[in-house]
């Protein structure tokens, strides 16, 4: 009775490490549930009716490099928008570009006016930036709105209408959209790349990140923020524009209904290269966003592996967590199918229901690992290979072209 008090014996497994791992797993489940909720909320806004009180004049700038089986369809879709007062400027880097014959043939058919510009080769900035600046420097302000679109997309007939409408209200400075990858062949690497990229739909609304594949702003805004001077020397357009918007406190809107399909065909190598390129741009221009994204990928992998390890050792909490994670993953996949059915035509939806849907449902560890590997492998990188050009990134507005493949 008079001896020292006995120290309580903690139940087996109730130690600091187990407590920490349980907390990590609980956070993982919370984030998974949040992702499902965000996707659910996202799909509710797709397909809303859009009406314009007036149609401002618009110039659509489309940088193009090379030709593929989707280019003619892209041009046809772009020239057949449900919008009256717009013109298109397609810009290539050289007269030898394989896209030129396709563009010239397409410009002769019916549709919105299409002109072609040749920018020449970039020396001290990204080629896409160089192409965009070549066109912007030649605009005279007669077009009230400037829109940008990537040539690897499939714009819906009302794409331009939905892009322009928020700018006519007067309280929005920049409008952007959501990229949705649609695997063409249904192969596994393309499906993994699509599952990983499409998981970010909705996240751009949270972090106010511009996607250059669908973007529009007023000409007066371009002049007011000095966009052309700010872009000179840059390696990329959209994440740099995102940074500029933050500095000027401009208002960015990313409508849920503005979701644009992008057909993809990837090998494992190109899927990894694509992911690394996107993460490099974010790390260089929006480092805080990069750290959040990279940390999230690490958390998902570590928490999932911890849950599996604890479950195999008989931990009931971890076992229940794995079951819940599986169910949340299935819910996430089902909501993504709803997004596809609402946003795209029957052909695209039918194609997505193959390997793309299966990858979301059954290969989540693989595409999350692709996210993590793509992110963390860029931590110290200062170079980039993009569209056959090797760049060295030296600063927000300082880029050096190291070498390029023959054009």
Q: What percent of the chain has pLDDT over 90?
A: 82
Q: pLDDT at residue 154 above 50? A: yes
Alpha-carbon separation of residue 223 from 165, 176, 373 (angstroms): 21, 19, 39
| Among 212, 205, 225, 217, CA closest to 153 | 212
8 band by pLDDT with thresholds 50, 70 and 90: very low
Q: pLDDT at residue 166 above 80? A: yes
| Among 213, 59, 254, 83, CA closest to 144 | 59
Residues 287-322 pLDDT 10s: 999 999 999 999 999 999 999 999 999 999 999 999
Structure tokens at 296: 């999230």
pLDDT at position 351 is 73
Q: What percent of the chain has pLDDT over 70?
A: 96
Phi and psi at residue 12, in whole multiples of 5°?
A: -60, 130
Residues 41-86 pLDDT 10s: 999 889 888 888 899 999 999 999 999 889 999 999 999 999 999 9
- Helix extents (H) in 45-126: 71-79, 99-107
CA torsion angle 305 308 313 314 (round to 10): 140
What are the structural domain ranges in the chain?
Answer: 30-406
The DSSP code for 167 is: G
Q: pLDDT at residue 246 above 70? A: yes
Structurally, what CATH architecture does the domain formed by 30-406 represent? Alpha-Beta Complex (3.90)
Taking the mean position of all CA atoms in its chain, how far away is CA 361?
Answer: 21
In the predicted model, what is the mean pLDDT of residues 145-168? 97
Residue corresponding to tokens 């994440």 = 239
* Host H or E run for residue 194: helix 188-198
Q: pLDDT at residue 9 above 60? A: no
Q: pLDDT at residue 11 above 60? A: no
In the predicted model, what is the mean pLDDT of residues 390-405? 95
Mean per-residue pLDDT of the chain: 93
């Amino acid at each position: 009775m008079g001896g020292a008090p006995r120290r309580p014996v903690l139940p087996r497994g109730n130690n600091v490490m187990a407590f920490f791992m349980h907390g990590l797993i609980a956070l993982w489940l919370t984030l998974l549930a949040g992702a499902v909720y965000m996707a659910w909320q996202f799909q509710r806004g797709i397909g809303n009716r859009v009406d314009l009180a007036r149609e401002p004049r618009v110039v659509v700038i489309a940088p193009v490099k090379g030709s593929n089986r989707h280019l003619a369809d892209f041009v046809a879709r772009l020239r057949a928008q449900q919008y009256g007062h717009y013109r298109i400027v397609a810009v290539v880097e050289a007269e030898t570009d394989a896209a030129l014959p396709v563009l010239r043939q397409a410009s002769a058919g019916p549709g919105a006016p299409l002109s072609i510009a040749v920018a020449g080769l970039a020396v001290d900035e990204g080629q896409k930036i160089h192409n965009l600046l070549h066109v912007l420097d030649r605009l005279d302000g007669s077009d009230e709105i400037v829109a940008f679109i990537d040539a690897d997309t499939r714009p819906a007939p009302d794409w331009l209408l939905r892009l322009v409408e928020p700018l006519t209200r007067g309280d929005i400075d920049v409008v952007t959209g959501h990229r949705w990858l649609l695997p063409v062949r249904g192969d596994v690497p393309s499906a993994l790349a699509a599952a990983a990229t499409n998981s970010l739909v909705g996240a751009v609304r949270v972090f106010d990140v511009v996607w250059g594949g669908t973007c529009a702003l007023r000409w007066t805004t371009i002049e007011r923020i000095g966009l052309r001077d700010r872009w000179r020397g840059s390696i990329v357009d959209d994440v740099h524009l995102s940074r500029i918007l933050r500095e000027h406190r401009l208002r960015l809107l990313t409508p849920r209904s503005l979701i644009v399909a992008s057909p993809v065909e990837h090998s494992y190598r190109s899927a990894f290269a694509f992911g690394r390129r996107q993460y490099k741009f974010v790390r260089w221009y929006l480092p805080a966003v990069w750290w959040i994204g990279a940390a999230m990928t690490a958390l998902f992998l570590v928490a999932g592996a911890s849950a599996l390890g604890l479950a195999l050792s008989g931990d009931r909490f971890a076992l229940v967590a794995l079951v819940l994670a599986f169910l949340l993953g299935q819910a996430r996949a089902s909501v993504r199918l709803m997004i596809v059915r609402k946003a795209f035509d029957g052909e695209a939806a039918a194609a997505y229901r193959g390997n793309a849907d299966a990858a979301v449902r059954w290969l989540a560890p693989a595409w999350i690992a692709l996210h993590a590997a793509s992110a963390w492998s860029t931590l110290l990188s200062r170079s980039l290979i993009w569209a056959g050009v090797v760049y060295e990134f030296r600063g927000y507005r300082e880029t050096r072209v190291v070498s390029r493949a023959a054009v």
